[in-house]
């Protein structure tokens, strides 16, 4: 088995002794990829008894979509090189595609956000809507602002993706909403579902629903968003005003409303409970540890993991990916019928609200709302996934 191969002799081996009863799932990671390769490494490191087929898609959010897409491609290239291009893990990575998606939200624009601030308030973190800084971009910072030129890419140094080959080149010519539609259709034809981990804004998923109204019937959706009890928390510190904001939903409220009202086979919200889960320093250090003989690609990933540009961020995207693969990561949850306010011009624009079943407005779906994580298990899985690549 793959993980017993990867973790042979490692202390972590016992944690992977659990073999799921269920058949392996087809997994799609849809994300505004930025400076963490970890959601991808978690999915790649999962045993083939858990994941049969992985697809990566990208879209705008934290930064503009082409930059996010290039991160996804670069991380796949680094993961493949880190296992030295050989072995079962390498042959699996070679089948993974990275498919570009939406560059802009359905309706909300940067200008609309800026002009509406007197009604909505400001976002502590505004992702690609942060003010354009030409100097910062020329030095390799992620593109922000200047929405008229949302397709640009600003990599430098180790982060520059190499020429695309194989499945990466094929997938780069596809379009994420089309691929989502196709996967759901194929799964429905087999009477199965695909697991879609949406850890960025929901634009690609909404476009898939526009194209194929039956899309949701073939999908189990894990969404990193739908924050419900953020407000008091967000007042308590400057840091909290950032991390307790439901940025994915706020970036594309119309997409979020459409998606969260669709009848998915399962809908799980990885909400602000995730904002409370920040990896302790010793876990970060253990995840990023390399050997003296580590290759430059292993060191590249290890640097991103062990010395992140923005230290101390919660594990939002990692938790969503882990929760989809390892159910025991969810320590507690509740259920509610969820909706998003998609009306411009007020503070609740792009914010979520949930009701008990018997009190809910019409037309809403029931979501599983995660309220607590098993942090010890999260840390074990996090370290193991990172080490599978930076210190194989
Ligand atoms: C993954 O799924 C796609 C689309 O269904 C298919 O073309 C591809 O062959 C699959 N890959 C593997 C390794 O099963
Ligand atoms: C990588 O693989 C090559 C052969 O393909 C081998 O010569 C080399 O020693 C390997 N490097 C490491 C670090 O395992
Ligand atoms: C917001 O309100 C201030 C006055 O409180 C005003 O100066 C400013 O022009 C307003 N901004 C917009 C975008 O309407
Ligand atoms: C733009 O970025 C540069 C380089 O990071 C920085 O020195 C400068 O302060 C930034 N300008 C603004 C207006 O934020
Ligand atoms: C599809 O799967 C469901 C549940 O897994 C099962 O009840 C149903 O009989 C299956 N339908 C077909 C046509 O196989
Ligand atoms: C789960 O959360 C509910 C509601 O907050 C609480 O009543 C229950 O005790 C929790 N269960 C566990 C196992 O922590």
Q: Cα separation of 196 and 135, whole Å?
A: 37
What pLDDT score does 22 carry? 73
What pLDDT score does 15 carry? 38
DSSP 8-state symbol, 236: S
Say if residue 2's pLDDT is above 80: no
Say if residue 241's pLDDT is above 50: yes
Sequence-ordered list of residues with C-beta below 8 angstroms from that of 113, at least 6 positions apart, any chain:
120, 123, 126, 129
What pLDDT score does 21 carry? 56
Residue whose CA is at the smallest distance from ligand 3 atom 6: 118
| Coil vs helix vs strand at 125 | coil
Beta bridge partners of 121: none
Ligand 4 touching residue 293 (CB < 6 A) = no
What pLDDT score does 10 carry? 35
Q: Compute the average pLDDT of residues 266-291.
A: 97
Q: Using alpha carbons, select from 171, 163, 175 the residue that is nearest to residue 54.
A: 171
Ligand 2 touching residue 84 (CB < 6 A) = yes
Report CA dihedral (379, 88, 94, 301) to the nearest 10 degrees.
40
pTM of the model: 0.93
- The pLDDT tens digits for 12-41 are 333 343 444 578 999 999 999 999 999 999
Q: Percent of the chain scored above 70 by pLDDT?
A: 95
Two tokens, residue 67: 């930059």
Residue whose CA is at the smallest distance from ligand 1 atom 8: 53
Show me where the domains of the chain are located. Answer: 27-390
What pLDDT score does 23 carry? 84
What pLDDT score does 291 carry? 97
Ligand 1 touching residue 192 (CB < 6 A) = no
What's the whole-number average pLDDT of the chain? Answer: 94
Q: Compute the average pLDDT of residues 45-56.
A: 95
**Which CATH architecture is the domain 27-390 placed in?**
Alpha-Beta Complex (3.90)
Q: Compute the average pLDDT of residues 356-383.
A: 98
- The pLDDT tens digits for 184-215 are 999 999 999 999 999 999 999 999 999 999 99
Q: What is the 3-state secondary structure (H, E, C) of 301-325?
A: HHHHHHCCCCCCCCCHHHHHHHHHH
- The pLDDT tens digits for 214-233 are 999 999 999 999 999 999 99
**Contact, 69 vs 98, CB < 8 A?**
yes
Between the CA of 42 and the centroid of ligand 1 the distance, in Å, is 19
**Contact, 92 vs 44, CB < 8 A?**
yes
What pLDDT score does 11 carry? 34
């Amino acid at each position: 088995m793959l993980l017993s191969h990867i973790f042979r002799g490692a202390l972590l081996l016992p944690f992977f002794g659990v073999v799921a009863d269920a058949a392996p799932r087809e997994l799609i990671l849809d994300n505004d990829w930025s400076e963490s390769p970890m959601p991808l490494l978690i999915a790649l490191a999962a045993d083939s008894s858990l994941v049969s087929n992985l697809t990566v898609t990208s879209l705008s959010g934290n930064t503009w979509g082409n930059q996010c897409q290039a991160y996804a491609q670069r991380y796949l290239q680094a993961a493949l090189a880190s296992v030295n291009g050989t072995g079962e893990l390498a042959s699996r990575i070679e089948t993974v595609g990275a498919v570009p998606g939406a560059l802009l939200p359905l309706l909300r624009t940067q200008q609309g956000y800026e002009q509406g601030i007197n009604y909505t308030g400001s976002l502590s973190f505004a992702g690609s809507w942060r003010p354009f800084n030409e100097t910062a971009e020329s030095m390799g910072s992620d593109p922000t602002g200047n929405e008229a030129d949302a397709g640009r890419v600003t990599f430098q140094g180790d982060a520059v993706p190499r020429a695309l080959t194989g499945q990466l080149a094929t997938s780069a010519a596809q379009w994420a909403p089309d691929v989502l539609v196709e996967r759901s259709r194929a799964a429905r034809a087999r009477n199965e579902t695909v697991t879609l981990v949406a850890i960025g804004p929901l634009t690609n998923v909404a476009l898939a629903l526009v194209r194929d109204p039956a899309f949701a019937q073939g999908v189990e959706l894990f969404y990193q968003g739908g924050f419900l009890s953020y407000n008091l928390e967000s007042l308590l510190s400057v840091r909290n005003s950032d991390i307790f904001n439901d940025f994915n939903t706020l970036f594309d409220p119309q997409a979020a409303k459409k998606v969260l009202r669709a009848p998915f086979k399962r809908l799980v919200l990885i909400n602000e409970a995730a904002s409370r889960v920040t990896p302790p320093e010793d876990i970060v250090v253990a995840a990023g540890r390399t050997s003296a003989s580590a290759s430059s690609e292993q060191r590249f990933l290890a640097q991103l993991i062990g010395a992140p540009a923005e230290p101390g961020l919660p594990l939002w995207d990692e938790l969503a990916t882990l929760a989809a693969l390892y159910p025991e990561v969810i320590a507690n949850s509740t259920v509610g019928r969820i909706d998003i306010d998609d009306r411009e011009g007020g503070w609740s624009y792009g914010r979520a609200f949930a009701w008990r079943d018997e009190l809910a407005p019409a037309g809403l779906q029931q979501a599983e709302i995660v309220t607590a994580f098993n942090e010890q298990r999260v840390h074990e899985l996090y370290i193991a996934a990172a080490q599978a690549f930076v210190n194989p």
